[in-house]
Amino acid sequence: MAENPVAEKDYGVLPKQQAFKVHAPDAPDLVEGVGDNLKTVHSVMLTNDIYVTWTTGQPGDVFPVHSHMPEMYQILTTIKGRCVWYYKDNDGNEQSIEAGPGDVVYLPGGAENRVEVIGDEEHIHIGSYPRVRVPRVEQLTGVVPDEVENPKDFRVGVDFDNVRDEYHEIHDDSFTEADHDS
């Protein structure tokens, strides 16, 4: 058997080898589901590269029309229930795509979109997005719904600088670091 060429690795050059987790349902609310059947969005995790959300809703709940910046595409993984994502194509025509458990939907950056829970059970999906300075076009135009926070003030389960291995923010009610002693 050939020798392992990486058996003598220098782990010191790697990023800090420390796992952590955020219990998504306990992470701070980015948008709280109140009035007009608005879905609840939990702000789970920020790194230098990605932003992760956990969204819940009941049948008939809607996240209203909004537009993300052109560089902020969305990858949306349905965990439970069903929903329909509506978005405008390049000609301004509304299109839609339905998703259920196990489906992963890609919505392009800049797409004007909304999502509606359909069926008769709770809906849960995980959103993964590139981290951008200003996520919503509405934040540039000054037409920002009351429920949207300043992107510099997002409350989050953990804000982790994965280049410098530093936590910028930890939400004690949802964050846990791996125990290396067990």
Is 66 part of a structural domain of the chain?
A: yes
Q: Which of 32, 19, 25, 18 is closest to 157 using CA atoms?
A: 25
Is 18 part of a structural domain of the chain?
A: no
pLDDT band at 41 (very low <50, low <70, confident <90, very high): confident
Residues 6+ apart with CB under 8 A from 27: 42, 43, 44, 45, 54, 156, 157, 171, 174
Answer for the pair 81, 119: CB distance below 8 angstroms, yes or no: yes
Report the pLDDT averaged over residues 67-96: 93
Is 2 part of a structural domain of the chain?
A: no
* pTM exceeding 0.85: no
Q: What are phi and psi of 138, to 5 degrees?
A: -60, -25
Count how many domains the chain has: 1
What is the per-residue pLDDT for 26? 92
Is 129 part of a structural domain of the chain?
A: yes
The predicted-structure confidence for 12-39, as pLDDT tens digits, reads as follows 888 888 899 999 999 988 776 544 556 7
Task: State the Cα–Cα distance between residues 15 and 125, nearest whole angstrom.
Answer: 29
Report the pLDDT averaged over residues 96-100: 98
What is the per-residue pLDDT for 88? 92
N-to-C CA span, the chain: 33
| CATH number of the domain where residue 166 is located | 2.60.120.10
What is the per-residue pLDDT for 119? 96
What is the per-residue pLDDT for 34? 47
Task: State the Cα–Cα distance between residues 89 and 145, nearest whole angstrom.
Answer: 23
Answer for the pair 135, 68: CB distance below 8 angstroms, yes or no: yes
Is 52 part of a structural domain of the chain?
A: yes
Is 139 part of a structural domain of the chain?
A: yes
Is 10 part of a structural domain of the chain?
A: no
Is 165 part of a structural domain of the chain?
A: yes
What is the per-residue pLDDT for 1? 63
Domain around 148: 26-177
Type of residue at 175: F
